[in-house]
Structure 1
Amino acid sequence: MGKDMTQGSIVKVLLLFTIPLVLSGLFQQLFNWVDAFIVGNVEGEIPLASIGATTVVYNLCITAIIGFTSGLSVLSAQQHGKREFWKMRETLLSFAFILGAFFLVIACVGMVFTTSIVELLNTPDKLTVIAVQYLKIMFISVPFLAIYNVYSGVLRGAGDSRAPFVAVIISSCANVVLDILFVAILHEGAAGAAVATVISQIAMTLFMIGYTEKTYPYLKYRLDKKIVVKTTLNQGSQFGVPPTIQASISSIGNIVLQRFMNGFGEQTIAAITTAYRVDSVIFLPIINFGSGVATVVAQNIGAENEKRANKTLKIGLVMIALISLGLSVFIFFFGEYMMALFGLSSESVAIGKTFFRALAPFYIVYGFSMVLRGYLEGRGDMVFSSAAGVTSLFSRILACYLFVEVFANSIIALSEAFSWFVLLTIYVVRYWRKTAKRNQEMKVPSRQ
């Protein structure tokens, strides 16, 4: 029946829900880490940079999927809080079918136009051939990841963050073995790393479907029920489309930023894309903690427990402050050593070190933003949250192009920190206004 988050210690609930999410994300990042680690150390810096130069395109699909399914997770959590389990099944089956089919078409189109996409990114000539091979293979996994994330999102809404963790562990272990086989032993290079990742992600999706069918009877597909329910599509789209638009625009913005970064040459590409691989792991506790806040708040809103939802925000802000400060200290002093694991030159590591030293002090700003976003999304404020994310992205792009002459490649880190301040300001203003409005509505004038 999932996990009831409407009672018990909020600190305990958040930790027990978030820790599997963090571990799941950590193992999921191993897809990129293992690919980069083995390719970088076996094949060299050029193939490593080739993978990094195409990551933003692949992530455009993935972030759109994750954006939509994060909305489905909030909807499922509210349905779980109301004990409307049949609606959760309709949400799961309708969107597993629709998103799987949609991203199958997207993957096919991407494979046809891979070369044009890579050239559009202003990818250096030395990287083009390998980048095309890698990206074309990676597109194959996109529809499977769409289905996986629908299942994962609905189970998170039910309070089950452990199942995705187990699925990712299985997939990550398979990816490590297959990477060693295809890259280190068979010397298939970046293309071999892509094949290993695709096979592993297909296995992860099949496991998640099988687990859900066996463990959650109320989510199981039934022959006497429709696969796609129109009313469910309408409701799910209200929750899923706004974060999808935001995620897609963010990914397109990242493509613009990647093109901007590619102008600094192969060494900066290798350094910064590797730094982002490290950063993506460091950010996991922050991002997933925000998701945990969203789920707890959503279940309590569904159960009409307003007081507990508000208390979750306050406790979440204190917890994220401690988490963010710890991560800042770690990456400030040890980030360069983590980058060195990927076989980069000392010059590239030095670029990455400068990146981390500029960005790390502002992690707490990002942490507060994620908790406030989780709270607002848990209440169903999806459209505004998405608009805030887009505004933050545009501020980052603008800062990059306006101040590149002043800060050179350091602007990549500084512009991101600036965008976090913009994001936090927007969320704080939104929270104050929404809270004031609710308080005003709760006031009932006394009349004798």
Structure 2
Amino acid sequence: MKDLTQGSELKTIFYFSLPILVGNLFQQLYNVADSVIVGNFLGKESLAAVGFSYQINFLLIALSTGISLGASVLTSRYFGARDMRQVKKVVDTGFLFSAVLSLVIAAAGACFSYQILVLFRVPENLLTIADTYLKIIFIGVIPTFAYNSLTNILRGVGDSKTPTYILIAATLINIVLDIFFITALKWGVAGAAVATVTAQAFSFITCMLYMRRRYPDLFIRLWDLQLDRHELKKSLVIGTPAMLQQVFVSVGFMSIQFLINGFGTDCMAAYAAASKVDSFAEMPALNLGQAMTNFTAQNYGAGKIDRVIRGGKSA
């Protein structure tokens, strides 16, 4: 755990945000690795199919991050106030809500993935491979939501390094499995999807094991989980605006993708490759904002409003 209520505001924010930036860079490498390997070994049709599914995956991550952000803010606030009983309530409630929501999204997505592809005018020659990839990605929503929930809990108590280490390991696993499933087992785009989901499951399991060892008081025991409606309401009040902001950004990109799909496979493949490069440009500002969220919440919980203001100016 890291206390963000002490020390130089600028140094505290910078050193807390740096691991988040590195972690998100590796998170982005998940998708870049898929595109590079798929494009080189399976061709432009497969790259175009994977590229469209990336926009859907971006939307799902936006939902997951936004929903879990509210729990992260409350965790930071109660941790700053040294109220560990309330921290535990928020942790259990946030994880349970994310788990239920991910199950609903995974089931609906797997059932209606083909209809989604048709709605977005994906060319007929790509429908089969895109549907296969997208179905597997929707199943992967479950470990993704669970991992993001745990990550935001760790950041809420000031631990931004551990999620980064886990992401680095998961990214390397994803790349190795991508190459193995595609080149050795000849699974095609399904191999890329299975590699990604496997890496996400690794992230979740590793994070759970780490919390059990390092933060036993916050460890999530499935048989003891209870949903606190009051804390859930407060979490959603905080997290929903952030979630909607990310969703609107995602919808904007999907609107562009809808238009791109009308120009055929070549344009879809080109857009898929270029958009991966563009996504790196936004990261520094977004990661600084994430760090400020937890910094502000901890200091607000500790009653240090002046420090919040100084921290905002430093950022």
SS in 2 for 1:6: coil
Amino acid at match of 1:202: A
1:291 counterpart = 2:295? no
Alignment check: 8 A CA contact 2:34 2:178 kept: yes
Give 1:58-137 correspondences, 5 Å limit.
58-137=57-136
Give 1:213-232 correspondences, 5 Å limit.
213-221=212-220, 227-232=226-231
Give 1:413-432 correspondences, 5 Å limit.
none
Q: 1: distance between equivalents of 2:308 and 2:283?
A: 23
Give 1:270-309 correspondences, 5 Å limit.
270-309=269-308
Amino acid at match of 2:181: F
Give 1:205-354 correspondences, 5 Å limit.
205-221=204-220, 227-316=226-315
1:166 counterpart = 2:165? yes
Amino acid at match of 1:153: N
Amino acid at match of 2:233: N
Report % sequence identity: 36
Greater RCO structure (CA 8 Å; 6+ sep) = 2
Q: 2: distance between equivalents of 1:233 and 1:301?
A: 19
Q: Which residue of 1 aligns with 2:52?
A: 53
Deviation for aligned residue 1:195:
0.6
Q: For the structure 1 residues 126 and 101, does the alpha-carbon distance in structure 2 shift closer, same or farther, using more than 3 Å as the test? A: same
Alignment check: 8 A CA contact 1:86 1:219 kept: no
| CA shift digits 1:171-191 (9 cap, x unpaired) | 112111111101122222211
Q: 1: distance between equivalents of 2:223 and 2:176?
A: 42
SS in 1 for 2:217: helix
Q: 2: distance between equivalents of 1:246 and 1:281?
A: 19
Alignment check: 8 A CA contact 1:86 1:218 kept: no
Alignment check: 8 A CA contact 2:67 2:98 kept: no
Alignment check: 8 A CA contact 1:95 1:150 kept: yes
Q: Which residue of 1 aligns with 2:150?
A: 151
More off after superposition, 186-195 vs 213-222? 213-222
Q: 1: distance between equivalents of 2:311 and 2:125?
A: 51
| CA shift digits 1:221-260 (9 cap, x unpaired) | 4699652222222222222223233333443343222102
Give 1:180-219 correspondences, 5 Å limit.
180-219=179-218
Q: 2: distance between equivalents of 1:226 and 1:276?
A: 40
Amino acid at match of 1:92: V
Q: 1: distance between equivalents of 2:211 and 2:225?
A: 18
Q: 2: distance between equivalents of 1:225 and 1:136?
A: 31
Q: For the structure 1 residues 255 and 222, does the alpha-carbon distance in structure 2 shift closer, same or farther, using more than 3 Å as the test? A: closer
Q: 2: distance between equivalents of 1:132 and 1:47?
A: 11
Alignment check: 8 A CA contact 1:38 1:184 kept: no
Amino acid at match of 1:119: V
Amino acid at match of 1:35: D
Q: Which residue of 2 aligns with 1:391?
A: none
Give 1:357-436 correspondences, 5 Å limit.
none
Alignment check: 8 A CA contact 1:63 1:248 kept: yes
Amino acid at match of 2:229: K
Q: Which residue of 2 aligns with 1:401?
A: none
The number of equivalent residue pairs is 315
Deviation for aligned residue 1:160:
0.5
In terms of Rg, which structure is larger? 1
> What TM-score do you get using the length of structure 1 for normalisation?
0.67
Amino acid at match of 2:13: L
Amino acid at match of 2:208: I
SS in 2 for 1:217: coil
More off after superposition, 192-201 vs 301-310? 301-310
Q: 2: distance between equivalents of 1:124 and 1:262?
A: 7
Deviation for aligned residue 1:20:
0.9
Amino acid at match of 1:260: L
Q: For the structure 1 residues 223 and 269, does the alpha-carbon distance in structure 2 shift closer, same or farther, using more than 3 Å as the test? A: closer
| CA shift digits 1:189-235 (9 cap, x unpaired) | 21110011111111110111111121113312469965222222222
Amino acid at match of 1:255: M
Alignment check: 8 A CA contact 2:96 2:225 kept: no
Alignment check: 8 A CA contact 1:118 1:132 kept: yes
Amino acid at match of 2:99: G
Unaligned runs of 5+ in 1: 317-448
Q: 1: distance between equivalents of 2:247 and 2:102?
A: 13
> What TM-score do you get using the length of structure 2 for normalisation?
0.94
